[in-house]
Amino acid sequence: MRRSLITAILAIGFAFFATGCSTMHMGWTAVTGQHKLDDGAMKAYDEMFTSVVEYGDPARAMMKEYKVQEDVSNEEVVESIKALAEEYNMRVVGDTKMFTIPDAKPDEVKFVENVSLCSLYIAKKFLNYSRYFGGFMPCRIMLVEYGNGDRYLITMDLTLAIHGGYPLPPEMSELAGKVKVAMEEIPARAAKGDF
């Protein structure tokens, strides 16, 4: 009798699992705590994991990149970032040339410059909410040039910082959205030399 009961329970469990029963999924979600997460969390994590599986590079999965047009100089890219920062209510809080290697091979990094931006008002709100947001601050845009002349602007994808946990309070969600827009549009425009 006991063996039959266990077999029946296992069969029912397998049937629910195999058919993708939403009741079972909801139960799993409740057990794991996923139901507490922001509505965009699972999509954001799925996109990150998909990228990691495709490229094997977790850093790439957490970044956005923008190819710099050939007719835009490095100086123009940096000037553009700084000019656009004001338009998006961001402050330039740093500009560091990391290195230049004049004889870099075509596939080696030849030049790197980091421009750091921040909205001090928003930074203060987020640090008061969780000091761990400080790891994302200030927002950086890195100009990377290779020996073959290819250049890219790299910046952190803020999707997980915004949607990866419990939902942010409405005001903070709105402010985070503004920073995300700025950190996507500034490098996209600067890569074209837009002022």
Q: State pLDDT tens for residues 4-43.
A: 655 555 555 555 555 555 544 455 455 567 788 999 999 9
Looking at per-residue pLDDT, the higher value among 2 and 181 belongs to 181
**Strand 139-146 vs strand 151-156: parallel, antiparallel, or unpaired?**
antiparallel
The model's pTM is 0.82
Q: State pLDDT tens for residues 30-39.
A: 556 778 899 9
Q: What separation in angstroms does the CA of 78 have from each of 133, 146, 149, 186?
A: 26, 17, 17, 11
CB 119 within 8 A of CB 180: no
Q: Could you tell me if residue 21 is left (phi over 0), alpha (psi between -120 and 50 degrees) or otherwise beta?
A: beta
103: DSSP letter: T
**In 3D, which of 190, 141, 146, 139 has the Cα closest to residue 161?**
139
